[in-house]
Structure 1
Amino acid sequence: MLQINRENLKSSHQLVWFIIDFLMLGLLILNLAFIIWDSIYGFVAVQHLLQQHLPALQSAYHPIHERFIFYDLIFVSIFLTEFFVRWGYAIKTSIYDRWYFYPFIHWYDVVGCIPVGSLRFLRILRVISIVYRLHQYRIIDITSTRIYQFFNFYYEAFMEELSDRIVLKVLTGVQEEVRRGSPLFDHIQQDILYPRRGMLSDWISRRVAEAAQEGYVPNRGALRHYLENRVDHALKQNLELSRLKYLPVVGSTIQETLEGAVGDIVANVIHQILEDLASASNHAFIEDIVNVFLPTPEGVAADDTQNQALIELIIEIIDAIKGQVRVKHWRAQLP
């Protein structure tokens, strides 16, 4: 239910205008209800129905229906009076840059006052403008009402469905352009990716260093133990190395020494590689890899296989985006 924030209403410097807004809002709702009822009463079938079942109501209202324009002009005179008062206040306080801007900005107030059938219903725009102004000044909160939540839910659902279809159509068109080998692919490769090779190298270098520091450094001892065990197991499965233990006197010693040396060498190599990746010295290595994937446009002629791989990568990325776009978030809000 719509509630009025009385504290904001009392503390506002426009209390008089807000009271006028509430009065105009009540008169507009009454006038629109009167217009709708008179429009319904205008059907002959409705008049006959009332004459049969509610003759007193029909006989009392029929003279009002015949003089409807007169009663409507009473409302119009009140609305126009309020309009000119606000216009004069806008001129006095210089709300707008020119004195004649007010009727153009509030055109719906003027047009709605024209006592012509279809134009009368434009008065509902004035209702919307008053409600919006009261909401903007936090006198009322229309977002808490059920009718607002109802219409807002279906509006958001409609806009999501519409925007999703447009985005999917655009992304599908981009995929077709990439598959056909249009200038779009060359534009992505040469004008977008290539000029940013340095930025890509820096970003990948930092990400690799962070991943190595977070993943390897805390688990260095466990990884070394795992590598030594795996190397030891592999060496024991080696037939040629197992024959060394048959050498007289020194066979077992040589076998154990080789197993320990190989395990230590492998663990140290892996340790050094990960240490290098976890430090700033990995930048040159990452930069070389990026340069291989993004060669200079003036360099060697592009490899068809490499181009095809990049095309497939772009298409898969767009497919992933399309999959996310297809998710209907508004359905999750359904009870």
Structure 2
Amino acid sequence: MIRFNRENLRKDHQLIWFTLDFLMLGLLILNLALIVFDFFYSFAGVQGLLSEYVPIVTDVYQPVHENFIFYDLIFVSIFLTEFCIRWVHAITVHTYSRWYFYPFIHWYDLVGCVPVGTLRFLRLLRIISIIYRLQKYKVIDITQTKAYGFFAFYYDAFMEELSDRIVVKILSGVQDEISRGSPLFDRIKHDILYPRRTMIADWLSERVAEATQESYMPNRGALRVYLEARVDTALQQNVELSRLRFLPVVGPTIQSTLEEAVGDIVATVIHQLLDDLASSRNHGFIEDVVNAFLPERTTGEGEEQGEDEANEALKNLINEILEEVKNQVHVKHWRGAL
């Protein structure tokens, strides 16, 4: 059900134009209904049925059908008069920067006035434009109607399908360009990523620290027990170390001491490494990683080979990111509304 907001209609300074909109909306609907009826009436079979069952309709409408162009021109003259009035008003209030822009922007109003064949149905666009204008100024509310919901759903579905195909096509082209080593990859690397190495390193450093703190700190004790157990198992399976137990008197003691010392050293080193990653001390390490991916331009043969390897890794990284973006684009959100 269409809702009318009489308060906005009374308060708005464009009351006269809204009144004209409603008048033109009624005339357009009447005119299109007449066009559709006349189209079907032109068939002999329809005329025969009407003559047999409702002869009064034939008697009344037959003169209209024979002079349909004349009656349609009456509507056209009203539409053109309204168009000229709005054009003059647009010039007066400087709606557009040039006086002759109005007929080009509202071309469907003019073309729809041509009383020839299917051009008449362009008047439907005029109905849509009037309804849109009334909705824009909150004079009416059509968003709660079933018709609006129906068309809005399929419009969104169509636009999503269309935009998804376009985006995937563009991203696939970008991936091809990057894989072929086009100037696009060099521009991404040297003009976009390389000048932002510090920012990337700072961002990665913060993310690594946060991730390490969230996953490592709560499990610090369990991780130490696990590492010591793994080291003990590895040492017990070591042939050279197992021979120490055969030493007289001190053999078992030395073996046990070594196992405890090695286990403690390994656990301490790994804990220290994770502590560093969980703090701001990881910045230097992350910066070295970023610099390895985004090295400065080099000229040496060995350095060029290293840069090629870094470039290949960076290409793979960009392609994987684009592939994930394409996978996300393929998600059909409109289907969730079914």
For each residue in 1:241-275, what CA deviation from the matched residue of structure 2 results, as whole angstroms up to 9, or x when unmatched?
A: 34444544444433333232222222221122122
> Counterpart of 1:165?
165
Matched with 1:296 is: 296
**Partner in structure 1 of residue 264 of structure 2:** 264
TM-score normalised by the chain length of structure 1? 0.82
Shift of the 255–107 alpha-carbon distance from structure 1 to 2, 3 Å rule, reads closer
Q: What CA distance in whole angstroms lies between the structure 1 residues aligned with 2:180 and 2:87?
A: 61
Matched to 1:139, the amino acid is V
Superposed counterparts of 1:134-283, under 5 Å: 134-283=134-283
Match of 1:321 among 296, 321, 325: 325
Contact 1:143/1:149 (8 A) holds in 2: yes
> Is residue 67 from structure 1 mapped to residue 67 from structure 2 by the alignment?
yes
Post-superposition CA distance 1:200-234 (Å, at most 9, x none): 22222222222222222333233223222322333
Tell me, what secondary structure is at the counterpart of 1:161? Answer: helix
Cα 1:108/1:183, change in 2 over 3 Å: closer
Cα 1:231–1:42 change in 2 (3 A) is same
Could you say if the C-alpha distance between residues 236 and 186 of structure 1 is closer, same or farther in structure 2, counting changes exceeding 3 Å? same
Note the aligned Cα RMSD (angstroms): 3.3
Change in CA separation of 1:234 and 1:101 when aligned onto 2, cut-off 3 Å? closer
Partner Cα distance (1:165, 1:208) in 2: 35
Question: How much does 1:73 deviate?
Answer: 4.3
Distance apart, 1:34 and its partner CA: 1.1
> TM-score normalised to the size of structure 2?
0.81
Closer, same or farther: CA 5–249 of 1 in aligned 2, 3 Å: same
* Segment drifting more, 215-224 vs 116-125: 116-125
Q: In structure 2, how many angstroms separate the alpha carbons of the residues matched to 1:91 and 1:174? A: 46
Change (3 A) 1:9 1:193: same
Conserved 8 A contact 2:293-2:311? no
Unaligned runs of 5+ in 1: none
For residues 2 and 161 of structure 2, the distance between their equivalents in structure 1, rounded to whole angstroms, comes to 30
SS at match of 2:140: coil
Aligned to 1:9: 9
Q: Distance in 2 between matches of 1:91 and 1:308?
A: 60
Contact preservation (8 Å) 2:244, 2:255? yes
Residue type of the partner of 1:225? Answer: V
- How far 1:29 moved relative to its partner? 0.8
Number of paired residues?
334
The letter of the residue matching 2:337 is: Q
Name the CA shift for 1:102/1:290 in 2 (closer, same or farther; >3 Å): closer
For structure 2, which runs of at least 5 residues remain unmatched after alignment?
Answer: none
Q: Which residue of 1 aligns with 2:133?
A: 133
Q: Give the direction of change, closer, same or farther, for the CA distance of 1:87–1:280 in structure 2 (3 Å limit).
A: same
Identical positions, percent: 66
1:39 is matched with 39
Deviation at 1:33, TM superposition (A): 0.6
Q: CA deviation at 1:89?
A: 5.8
The one-letter amino acid of 2:289's match is I
**1:132, distance to aligned residue in structure 2 (A):** 0.7
Relative distance call for 1:72 and 1:237 in structure 2 (3 A) is same
TM-aligned CA deviation for residue 131 of structure 1: 0.4
Alpha carbons of 1:172 and 1:84: their partners in 2 closer, same or farther (altered >3 Å)? Answer: closer
2:337 maps to which residue?
333
